[in-house]
Chains A and B, each alone.
Chain A
């Protein structure tokens, strides 16, 4: 078993789920932002929910991949998430407080802008954990 496996050996639900989810997410977002006067009400919400099934597919693949990891690599993932989760939580809570203090322009400041910070905090946590445990 080697955790530096080629990309194609990843669980197919992760391998296909991620691009499908990301592609649908950005397509839906671009469409919704570009068509503010388009279909309204429930149909607009249904369009916004379109990426969700692909996300669930990706999530299943992700959990399967974590179960395939050995104990050290699970520990590394845990430490990365232990950094990313509180950082993201604090950002969401801070944005919530700022929003209460001062109504914000949703185009520039919104909860949908938080996720890149989750990716950033996870990557930093992952780099530190790998540096700590990997000897090479």
Chain B
């Protein structure tokens, strides 16, 4: 799954730790999502999308 998480985070000038704090997850989890090593659950994906004021599809795209 592709993600724009790093790009969206950079736009807001947040560190991984800051984003992790806002999402209630660890910094390692944010890092693993950004590097596409870990695919978040639907609930976390919705939390991420809501935080950036976007839809899930705008943050995460399935790899074809």
Residue positions of A touching B, CB distance < 8 A: 1-4, 70-73, 75, 132-136
- Closest chain-B Cβ to A95's Cβ sits at a distance in Å of 37
How far apart are the CA atoms of A73 and B31 in the complex, in Å? 13
Judged by DSSP, the binding face of A is: loop
Pair A3/B28 contact, Cβ less than 8 Å: yes
- Are B31 and A136 in contact (CB-based, < 8 A)? yes
**Cross-chain contact A1 with B32 (CB below 8 angstroms):** no
- Whether the Cβ atoms of A3 and B35 lie closer than 8 Å is no
A4 and B17 alpha carbons, distance in the complex (Å)? 12
Write the residues of chain B forming the contact surface with A, with a CB cutoff of 8 angstroms: 17, 20-21, 24-29, 31-32, 34-35, 37-38, 40-41, 44
A105 to B13: give the CA distance in the assembly, Å.
Answer: 66
User: Is A70 in contact with B37, judged by CB distance below 8 angstroms?
Assistant: no
Which of B34, B37, B41 lies at the interface centre, i.e. has the most chain A CB atoms within 10 A of its CB? B37
A2 to B35, CA, bound (A): 18
